[in-house]
Amino acid sequence: MSAAIGSYATIGNDAPRRPAPHGAGRLAQLKARYFATPGTSLLTIVLGLMTAWAVVSFVRWGIIDAVWYDPTAEACKTASGACWAVITEKYRVILLGTYPYDEQWRSALIIAIWVVWAVLTAFRLFPLRMRLAGWLAVFVVTLVLMRGGVFGLSYVGTDAWGGLPLTFLVFGGTVAFGIPLAILLALGRRSPFPVVRFVSIATIEGVRGIPLLVVLFFGTLILPLFLPPQLDVDKLVRAEIGMVIFFAAYAAEVIRGGLQAVADGQDEAAKALGMGYWLRMRKIVLPQAVAIAIPALFNDIIRAFKNTTYFAILGLFDVLGATKVALDDPAWVRYGLEGYLFVFLLYFLICSGLSLYGRSLEQDHARRTRRAEQ
Amino acid sequence: MSILKKRATAGGAVPPPPRRRLSPKAVFWQAALLVVLATIATWLVMNARAALDARGMTSGLGFLFDKAQFSLGEAFFHFRPGETYLTAFAVGLGNTVMVSVVSIITASLLGTLVGLARLSRNGLASGLAQAYVYAFRNTPQLVQIVFWYSFFTLLPHARNSWSIGELIFASNRGVSLPAPENGAVFAEAAAAGFLGFLVAWGVSILAERRRRRTGLRWKPLRAVQIALILAPALVVWAAAGAPAEWSVPVLKGFNFKGGATLSPEFLAIYFGLSFYIAAYIAEIVRAGIGSVDFGQFEAANTIGLSKSDIYRRIVAPQALRVIIPPLAAQYVSLLKNSSLGVAIGYPDLFSISNTMLTYSGRTIEVLCIMAAVYLVMALAIGAASNAANRYFAIPGRTS
């Protein structure tokens, strides 16, 4: 069998080729997937009929019989389908909140800046340092645009802030302030100093054991009682403090997991080189720990985004709170289902985007570590 | 001799490292931290004192025995104006625990079903399960709760209600179901049955011990267990005169009379809690079963175990080890998120406390009591999960 002279192909020595699967082909594959046994066939048929019924009735309700545009809500009363006119009529309130009507271009601009920079970040078109600096700039621009009072922009108080810009701002602030606090708590929990350890553990476990709403109520109702009357902290800031602490307590446990995954030898080697504690943490331990923790941290970040809706209960006008206001209008009060479905879809898109980004970071990390191990 | 001795210790437990004494620097920094914390705490408390004095308010827990003049929505437990604040706390706690327990049971069953469906070889089942998990995990729970509430309150009026066989009615007043005329007797019978179940569980442990010791099976075990569960329930039921009448809801005027009615508030929080957490539980169950080595399935198949025995005896005990810790975290999360009932007016612990602090003006006390109650419940679930984890752990291994 040495016919293949001049070729490196080996003939006859490698493992026998796998025979073609029995009855390969698209139809057979479908059959194996959906109709392999009588039981699974029955399941396919029952689930298929139910899904078909659900899709057909949703299409009938949501598209065919739906009313799309109707500024007076008259046509909606007689229609048998959905009244999407509530969205076309109220989308400004839902997305921008109760921000002064003439200044709403500022809110729209903020949404545009966030979306553009988020997309640029997601595709990693710039180095990390530039992306983070960009986020800082986005944050500052958002605050300036929302608050006004400089560059000829009129001043708008925080009680009028609302909609998607407020949701973004709250979310961004929670993550930006929460992660450093979480790192401190995680380091504190592993500290050799008993006092530091005790304070960290008490904070983490105490906050994790109570509902976020209770933490937010502590911030909005109790904090002002404990501060001197001349120190008047804005309600939005007080609620934000609660959000940051709650996020940090959860994120601290994730980062602690990352710290535990870093081999002790790394820290010991750095110590042997004579590096001090903070230098070791900053240059050796934390970069590795945070990289390991990022996929799990993204679950907490997504939850922080979902938790911004709690502001609606505090009477602030994030997207959900603004939707509630929009649906208080007696003409549109009967179309809450459509309104909340729209909000549902909005959050679904943003959270799915965040979760896709988190997964891509995870793959990046896996690729990097594989390269490092080779 | 000394070498042998060394080997002996190396083979046994590793001796603990020598205790390090804290350096003077460490002592100084910790003392400084303590002083700073104490100063901040004192400053905060003094501010609060001054603020309360300025408003002429007193503090303390005496208000718990004052009469409260507010009324609350209907749920499992009722509160009438004129009862004490302490009763209001108890009513709120009862409602929170009840809605959490029924939601935890529903979420566990639904989550397991969806998790198994995702592993199914049937493409349609796994696809639908995946769509469910995506939709419910990627949206805020509060939006879901508010959506369900708006769904249930926008159902047609009682006159045009949707009905299933003229027995179950869904209208904007809630869902009305047939219920036993004498509900208390059935609750007592169920409690007796539960006690019987505990005894039956103990019997099965004893029987298993005997089997391991002697190798003998106790044949009537199943029959005895069923008798142990059913007999107490039947005895209690018969002792109360064996009431068998069912009350069916009937439309009278603008509302339903008879049967039991689940309010839109309860249904919204129940659906919102169960469906959201079920999506997370589905992922936990999937990961847990996925963590069992495939060789385990193959080996069990080879020795001829039936499919149900493979899952019950081989897969479940190994998967549960992975499943229990995150599952307990989800239960804690569900319990804490039941506080979202305040958004739709379900009288749970949080929303009752919210009403109480408005009426009593004791913001600090009410919030602290409520936080402590939630904390204790969360810690109790954590302790239960640790106990369950120990029960399922492989003997002799730490993790």
Tens-digit pLDDT profile for residues A342-365:
899 999 999 999 888 888 888 888
Lowest mean pLDDT segment, chosen from A14-28, A50-64, A87-101, B57-71: A14-28
Identify which of A321-325, B262-266, B376-380 has the greatest average pLDDT. B376-380
**pLDDT of A4 strictly over 60:** no
Residue B332 has pLDDT above 60, yes or no: yes
A18 pLDDT band (50/70/90 cuts)? low
**Mean pLDDT, chain B, as a whole number?**
82
By mean pLDDT, which of A118-132, B143-157, B306-320 is the weakest? Answer: A118-132
Q: Alpha-carbon Rg of chain B, whole angstroms?
A: 28
Which residues of A fall within a CB distance of 8 Å from B143?
Answer: 309, 320, 340, 343-344, 347
The tens digit of pLDDT for each residue in B107-128 reads 999 999 999 898 888 888 889 9
Mean pLDDT of B120-148: 90
Q: Give CA–CA dist A307/A116, Å, rounded.
A: 23
Helix H, strand E, coil C: the string for chain A is CCCCCCCCCCCCCCCCCCCCCCCCCHHHHHHHHHCCCHHHHHHHHHHHHHHHHHHHHHHHHHHHCCECCCCCCCHHHHCCCCECHHHHHHHHHHHHCCCCHHHHHHHHHHHHHHHHHHHHHHCCCCCHHHHHHHHHHHHHHHHHHHHCCCCCCCCCCHHHCEHHHHHHHHHHHHHHHHHHHHHHHHHHHCCCCHHHHHHHHHHHHHHHCCCHHHHHHHHHHHHHHHCCCCCCCCHHHHHHHHHHHHHHHHHHHHHHHHHHHCCHHHHHHHHHCCCCHHHHHHHHHHHHHHHHHHHHHHHHHHHHHHHHHHHHCCCCECHHHHHHHHHCCCCCHHHHHHHHHHHHHHHHHHHHHHHHHHHHHHHHHHHHHHHHHC
Contact A352 B134 (CB under 8 A): yes
- Closest CA in chain A for residue B151: A337
Residue B47 C-alpha, separation from nearest chain A C-alpha, in angstroms = 5
Mutate to test the interface with B, among A44, A174, A195 (most CBs of B within 10 A): A195
User: Predicted confidence band at B335 (pLDDT cuts at 50, 70, 90)?
Assistant: very high
Cα(A35)–Cα(A44) distance, rounded to whole angstroms? Answer: 7
Q: Is the pLDDT of residue A271 over 60?
A: yes
Chain B residues with CB under 8 Å of A226 CB are 44-45, 47-48, 51
Can you list the positions of beta strands (E) in chain B? 162-164, 168-171, 174-177, 179-180, 246-247, 250-252, 255-257, 260-262
Residue B18 reports pLDDT greater than 70: no
Range A1-9 average pLDDT: 52
B162-219 residue pLDDT tens: 777 777 777 777 787 777 777 777 888 888 888 999 998 888 888 888 888 888 877 7
> Which has more confidence, A28 or A241?
A241
Q: Indicate yes or no: CB of B379 within 8 angstroms of CB of A313.
A: no
Chain B residues within an 8 Å CB radius of A313 = 142, 340, 342-343
Q: CA B85 to CA B109: how far, in whole Å?
A: 36
What residue in A sits closest to B123 (Cα-Cα)? A33
Among all residues of chain B, which has the CA nearest to that of A347?
A: B139
| B128: nearest CB among A51, A208, A344 | A51
What local confidence, expressed as pLDDT, does residue B136 receive? 92
Here the ipTM equals 0.84
Q: Reply yes or no on whether the pLDDT at B290 is more than 60.
A: yes
A351 vs B contacts (CB less than 8 Å): 137-139
Average pLDDT of B243-251? Answer: 74
Most confident of the ranges A76-80, A124-128, A211-215, A258-262: A211-215
* Beta-carbon separation of A225 and B29 below 8 A: no
Q: Do B33 and A196 touch (CB under 8 A)?
A: yes
Chain A contacts of B375, Cβ < 8 Å? 206, 209-210
pLDDT at B205: 86
Find residues 23-42 of chain A whose CB sits inside 8 Å of chain B.
33-34, 36, 40
Instruction: Read off the tokens for B158.
Output: 């009682």
Task: Tell me which of A40, A94, A225 to substitute to probe the interface with B (most B C-beta atoms closer than 10 Å).
Answer: A225
Q: Which residues of A are less than 8 Å from B135 in CB distance? A: 348
Of A193, A226, A308, the CB nearest to B44: A226
Residue of chain A nearest B22, judged by CA positions: A193
Amino acid identity of B233?
Answer: A
Q: Do A193 and B374 touch (CB under 8 A)?
A: no
- Amino acid at site A233: V
Q: What's residue A6's pLDDT?
A: 58
Report the pLDDT value the prediction gives residue B162, as an integer from 0 to 100: 78
**A78-87, A212-221, A347-356, B13-22, range with the lowest pLDDT:** B13-22
Greatest mean pLDDT range, A76-80, B2-6, B68-72, B349-353: B349-353
Q: What percent of chain B has pLDDT over 90?
A: 19
Q: What's residue B269's pLDDT? A: 92
Contact: B336, A228; criterion CB under 8 Å = no
Q: What is the pLDDT of residues A273-310, one digit of tens each?
A: 988 888 988 888 888 888 888 888 888 999 999 999 99
Contact B340 A302 (CB under 8 A): no
Say whether B151 and A227 touch across the interface (CB within 8 A).
Answer: no
Interface test with A, best of B146, B360, B367 (most A CBs within 10 A): B146
According to the model, what pLDDT value does residue A62 have?
Answer: 77
pLDDT at residue number A364: 82
Is the pLDDT at B4 greater than 50? The verdict is no
- Test B29 with A209 for CB contact under 8 angstroms: no
Interchain CB distance below 8 Å, A310 and B142: yes
Per-residue pLDDT at B72:
72
Asked if the model's pLDDT at residue A374 lies above 70, the reply is no
Whether A226 sits inside 8 A of B337 (CB atoms) is: no
Say what the pLDDT of residue A16 is.
Answer: 63
What's the average model confidence in pLDDT over B296-324? 87
Of A40, A213, A344, the CB nearest to B143: A344
pLDDT (0 to 100) of residue B187: 82
CB-CB: which of B128, B138, B343 is closest to A47? B128
- Are residues B139 and A344, on separate chains, in Cβ contact within 8 Å? yes
Q: What is the mean pLDDT of residues B392-397?
A: 66
Distance from C-alpha of B131 to C-alpha of B144, rounded to nearest angstrom: 16
Q: Is the pLDDT of residue B106 over 90?
A: yes
Lowest mean per-residue pLDDT among A358-362, B138-142, B276-280: A358-362
pLDDT over 70 for what percent of chain B? Answer: 90
Contact A336 B150 (CB under 8 A): yes
Put simply, the chain A residues between 212 and 241 with a CB less than 8 A from any chain B CB are: 212-214, 217-218, 221-222, 225-229
A residues 176-205 closer than 8 Å to B (CB): 192-196, 199
- Alpha-carbon gap: A337 to the closest alpha carbon of chain B (Å): 6
Residues of A in contact with B26 (CB under 8 A): 192-193
Q: Is A221 within 8 Å of B363 when comparing Cβ atoms?
A: yes
Contact across the interface for B121 and A36, Cβ inside 8 Å: yes
User: Residues 107 to 146 of A: which have CB under 8 A from any B CB?
Assistant: none
Are B371 and A218 inside 8 Å of each other by CB? yes
Regarding pTM above 0.80, the answer is yes
At residue A82, the pLDDT reads 77
Would you call A80 an interface residue with chain B, using a CB distance cutoff of 8 Å?
A: no
Q: What is the mean pLDDT of residues A141-159?
A: 79
Contact state of B142 with A313 under an 8 Å Cβ cutoff: yes
Q: What local confidence, expressed as pLDDT, does residue A1 receive?
A: 44
Taking an 8 Å cut-off on Cβ atoms, the answer to whether A199 and B22 are in contact is no
- CB-nearest to A340 from B150, B332, B363 is B150
Cβ–Cβ pairs < 8 A, chains A and B: 145
With 90 as the cut, is the pLDDT of residue B105 above it? yes
Mean pLDDT score, B94-98: 89
Q: At a CB cut-off of 8 Å and minimum separation 6, what does B340 contact?
A: A213, A313, B141, B142, B145, B269, B272
Residue B27 has pLDDT above 50, yes or no: yes
